[in-house]
């Protein structure tokens, strides 16, 4: 009985610690955001997105980054100012769950607005939200199928 109780408490502790991940750790653990993680590192934004937040991140998958021609992506990864602008354009201050999303404009951390449409599914500047509400301890991730570029 005592061993069972201890094992149960350990399992609960492990489950709780597995859920207590920030946005960056959550994205890395998902396995489909390797390019995003590398880009966050190159831009020096990892510590920011590991911060208290809360943040809402519209996270492009590796497949979304693969839509960018390789030479253009390589150039972007080497241009820290432009890369930072592109990445922060995918981040909104606050925790916005899918149920709270409304069509319209939303200000990004980068400073420009994203256009959200909800007809036929949620889209951010034309990028489709393919998975929503991946909760992290400092915000939420919504997975998108295309990298959005500020104007």
- Domains of the chain, start order: 21-144 (2.30.180.10)
Q: Using the predicted structure, report yes or no on whether residue 8 has a pLDDT greater than 70.
A: no
Of 65, 69, 108, 117, the residue nearest 90 (C-alpha): 108
Condensed to tens digits (0 to 9), the pLDDT of residues 88-99 reads: 999 999 999 999
How does residue 12 score in pLDDT terms, banded at 50, 70 and 90? very low
Percentage of the chain with pLDDT > 90? 81
Average pLDDT, the chain: 88
For position 126, what pLDDT does the model report?
95
For position 82, what pLDDT does the model report?
96
For position 3, what pLDDT does the model report?
45
Rounded to 10 degrees, what is the CA torsion of 141, 115, 130, 63?
-90
What mean pLDDT comes out for the span 40-62? 94
Tell me if residue 144 falls in helix, strand or coil.
strand
Percentage of the chain with pLDDT > 70? 87
Tell me if residue 115 falls in helix, strand or coil.
strand
For position 19, what pLDDT does the model report?
52
Does residue 9 or residue 137 have the better pLDDT? 137
Does residue 65 or residue 9 have the better pLDDT? 65
For position 55, what pLDDT does the model report?
96
């Amino acid at each position: 009985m005592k061993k069972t109780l201890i094992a149960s408490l350990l399992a609960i502790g492990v489950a709780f610690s597995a859920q207590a991940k920030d946005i960056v750790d959550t994205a890395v653990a998902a396995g489909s955001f390797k390019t995003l993680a590398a880009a966050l590192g190159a831009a020096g934004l990892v510590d920011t997105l590991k911060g208290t937040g809360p943040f809402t991140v519209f996270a492009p998958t590796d497949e979304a980054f693969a839509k960018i021609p390789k030479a253009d992506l390589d150039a972007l990864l080497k241009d820290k100012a432009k890369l930072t602008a592109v990445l922060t354009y995918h981040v909104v201050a606050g925790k916005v769950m899918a149920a709270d999303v409304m069509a319209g404009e939303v200000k990004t951390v980068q400073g420009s607005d994203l256009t959200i449409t909800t007809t036929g599914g949620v889209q951010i500047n034309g990028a489709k939200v393919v998975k929503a509400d991946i909760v992290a301890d400092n915000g939420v991730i919504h997975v998108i199928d295309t990298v959005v570029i500020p104007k």
